[in-house]
Structure 1
Amino acid sequence: MVMDLSSPAFSHNGQIPVEHTCDGADRAPALRWKGAPAGTRSFALIVEDPDAPGRTFVHWLVYDLPAGATQLSQGGALPQGAKHGRNDFGRDGYGGPCPPRGHGVHHYHFSFYALDVPRLGLPPGAPLPALRHAMQGHVLAQARLTGLYSR
């Protein structure tokens, strides 16, 4: 079975609803996953916008999600033990799509990883480079969900 990531808020390559952006409530969408491989001991999530001017922009980092978890509820509340990393808005947790006006459609990649360790040893608020480094050699599987948004 292949690992799959989905959201009840939008389909793969579908429009992210305004509620989940800076133009709305800026609330994290609910996410669901299935098909984690045997040996999965935790999960991590990286949400990025590669279409941002100048560089890829980090919107959400989550790590140390317990292996028994199968979803994140709308709003981004985390199960016990899970941690938010620091996004490029300078805060821990979710920061929704907020592309410059008139900059076209942006792609928001929700990359989800099954890991073979229960914890990555990172404190809350870790930045993306630290998360990527900690995950090296521990990724068992990956799933991706892409949402679109423009202003």
Structure 2
Amino acid sequence: MPTLKPLLLALLSLSAARAGKVPFSVTLSPHDPALACHSASTPVLTFGPPPPGTHSLAVLFWDQRPNQLSGRWLVFDLPLKTTRLDTQDASRLQVGGGKVALNDAGQPGYTALCARGRHDIYVDFYALDVPSLGVPAGTPLRKVHTLIHQHKLREVKAHLVRVMP
């Protein structure tokens, strides 16, 4: 019964919230200055606690437009205690105790949205079953993303829509 799993996860999240516990989650403000064109800083992301069995965390910020998907920022090998990534220089390869991949533009760190039109922005937050993915900072995003999916215990997403003039 494939429809029971989403319902069960929703009920678990609701019961955790009622018990005063923050569920495994990721939050991005739609007003974050890092979402402005040519921003030279990273977005602020806030995380809920990971599920049991997690050994490290990863977060992927990506932008989807018609006929194009672009990985803008990927931070991996984050320590379990990470609850927030604060804004900092977008080109850094070390963030919050974790490593940063080369993005889909082939640049180190984060690249801001600049193309006109609608952007569906997604932030994927991953709980991983290994303390490290075993690759250095600056590894291409697609390679790190493949490794994340091999070690993923759980994933949650944040989504927002941004229209660039």
Runs of 5+ unmatched residues, structure 2: 1-15, 17-22
Q: CA RMSD in A?
A: 2.0
The answer as to whether partners of 1:64 and 1:119 remain within 8 angstroms in 2 is yes
The answer as to whether partners of 1:85 and 1:125 remain within 8 angstroms in 2 is yes
Q: Identity percentage over the alignment?
A: 29
**Partner secondary structure for residue 137 of structure 1:** helix
Aligned to 1:5: 26
Aligned to 1:90: 106
CA drift of 1:134 comes to 1.4
Please give the alpha-carbon distance, in whole angstroms, between the structure 2 residues aligned to 1:21 and 1:136.
Answer: 26
The answer as to whether partners of 1:16 and 1:147 remain within 8 angstroms in 2 is no
CA drift of 1:56 comes to 0.7
CA drift of 1:28 comes to 1.4
Judged with a 3 Å threshold, the aligned counterparts in structure 2 of structure 1 residues 20 and 39 are, in CA distance, closer, same or farther, namely same
Instruction: Please state which structure has a larger fraction of its residues in helix.
Output: 2
Q: Is 1:123 aligned with 2:139?
A: no
The answer as to whether partners of 2:106 and 2:140 remain within 8 angstroms in 1 is no
1:31 aligned residue (45, 49, 54): 45
Please give the alpha-carbon distance, in whole angstroms, between the structure 1 residues aligned to 2:113 and 2:85.
Answer: 18
Residue 4 of structure 1 aligns with an amino acid whose one-letter code is S
CA drift of 1:128 comes to 2.5
What TM-score results when the alignment is normalised by the length of structure 2?
Answer: 0.74
The answer as to whether partners of 2:24 and 2:51 remain within 8 angstroms in 1 is yes
Trace 1:1-150 onto structure 2 (pairs within 5 A): 1=16, 2-7=23-28, 10=29, 15-17=30-32, 19-23=33-37, 25-51=39-65, 54-75=67-88, 78-80=95-97, 82-99=98-115, 101=116, 103=117, 105-150=118-163
CA drift of 1:144 comes to 1.0
Question: 4+ runs of 1 displaced by more than 6 Å?
Answer: none
The answer as to whether partners of 1:21 and 1:27 remain within 8 angstroms in 2 is no
Bigger mean CA deviation after superposition, 136-145 or 60-69: 136-145
Judged with a 3 Å threshold, the aligned counterparts in structure 2 of structure 1 residues 132 and 139 are, in CA distance, closer, same or farther, namely same
What TM-score results when the alignment is normalised by the length of structure 1?
Answer: 0.81
The answer as to whether partners of 1:111 and 1:143 remain within 8 angstroms in 2 is yes
**Partner secondary structure for residue 135 of structure 2:** coil
**Partner secondary structure for residue 150 of structure 2:** coil
Residue 78 of structure 1 aligns with an amino acid whose one-letter code is V
